[in-house]
């Protein structure tokens, strides 16, 4: 049973924000950035980021369950993804991030990465923004993932993840 709102005119938006640190292990594979629910998130009027997921799974701890990083599109259309990631200062040679369809292998759709970027660090704290357009489907969740190449675990100290869905002809 879907928890999504019915279609409405205009764009449909899900806007997530994390302002507590998320530790990313040293030299790890890409990690899903996790986001809180309810009053702690920016906006989810179209029920794209819910504790009770569309496939029936219920999240009990948003900060430890990678499913809390999923946005399940409310409708099919042209989706514009946005992300903002702020890392603590560290000994990085490279910071990496990407958008991904079905990062946890929950659907028959392939795990499909897009907008992958590898960045050299700047002095001090690392602050990045990105946007990318993709076709979206309510049956295929989306996430933003990140990793780094520092020799010790490092924190993402602030992150945002947003999806804006435009009707596609």
Sorted by where each starts, the structural domains of the chain and their CATH numbers stand as: 18-166 (2.60.120.40)
Q: For residue range 34-62, what is the model confidence (pLDDT) as tens digits? A: 999 987 778 999 999 999 999 999 999 99
Q: For residue 151, what are its two tokens?
A: 């020799």
Phi, psi of 68 (to 5 degrees): -70, -10
pLDDT of residue 1: 43
| pLDDT exceeds cutoff 80 at 7 | no
H/E element holding 131?
Answer: strand 126-136
| Section 23-33 average pLDDT | 95
Q: What are the phi and psi torsion angles at 22 (to 5°)?
A: -120, 120
Note the pLDDT tens digit of each residue in 58-79. 999 999 999 999 999 999 999 9
How many residues are recorded in the chain? Answer: 169
Quote the pLDDT of residue 38: 82
Distance, CA of 48 to CA of 58 (rounded, Å): 14
The whole-number pLDDT of residue 165 equals 98
Q: What is the pLDDT of residues 106-158, one digit of tens each?
A: 988 777 899 999 999 888 788 999 999 999 999 999 999 999 999 999 999 99
pLDDT, residue 161, reads 98
CA distances (Å), origin 123, targets 104, 110, 135, 141:
33, 37, 36, 34
Predicted local confidence at residue 20, as pLDDT? 95
Backbone angles phi, psi at 39, to 5 degrees: -65, -20
Confidence of residue 8 (pLDDT cuts 50, 70, 90): low
């Amino acid at each position: 049973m879907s928890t999504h709102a019915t279609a409405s005119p205009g764009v449909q938006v899900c806007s997530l924000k994390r302002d507590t640190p998320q530790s990313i292990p040293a030299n790890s594979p890409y990690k899903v950035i996790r986001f809180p629910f309810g009053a702690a998130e920016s906006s989810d009027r179209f029920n794209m980021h819910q504790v009770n997921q569309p496939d029936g799974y219920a999240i009990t701890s948003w900060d430890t369950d990678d499913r809390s990083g999923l946005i399940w599109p409310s409708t099919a259309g042209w989706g514009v993804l946005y992300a903002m990631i702020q890392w603590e200062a560290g000994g990085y040679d490279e910071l990496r991030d990407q958008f991904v369809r079905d990062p946890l292998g929950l659907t028959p759709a392939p795990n499909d990465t897009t907008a992958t970027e590898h960045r050299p660090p700047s002095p001090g704290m690392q602050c990045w923004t990105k946007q990318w357009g993709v076709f979206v489907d309510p049956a295929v969740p989306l996430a933003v993932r990140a990793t780094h190449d520092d020799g010790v675990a490092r924190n993402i100290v602030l992150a945002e993840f947003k999806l804006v869905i435009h009707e596609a002809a």
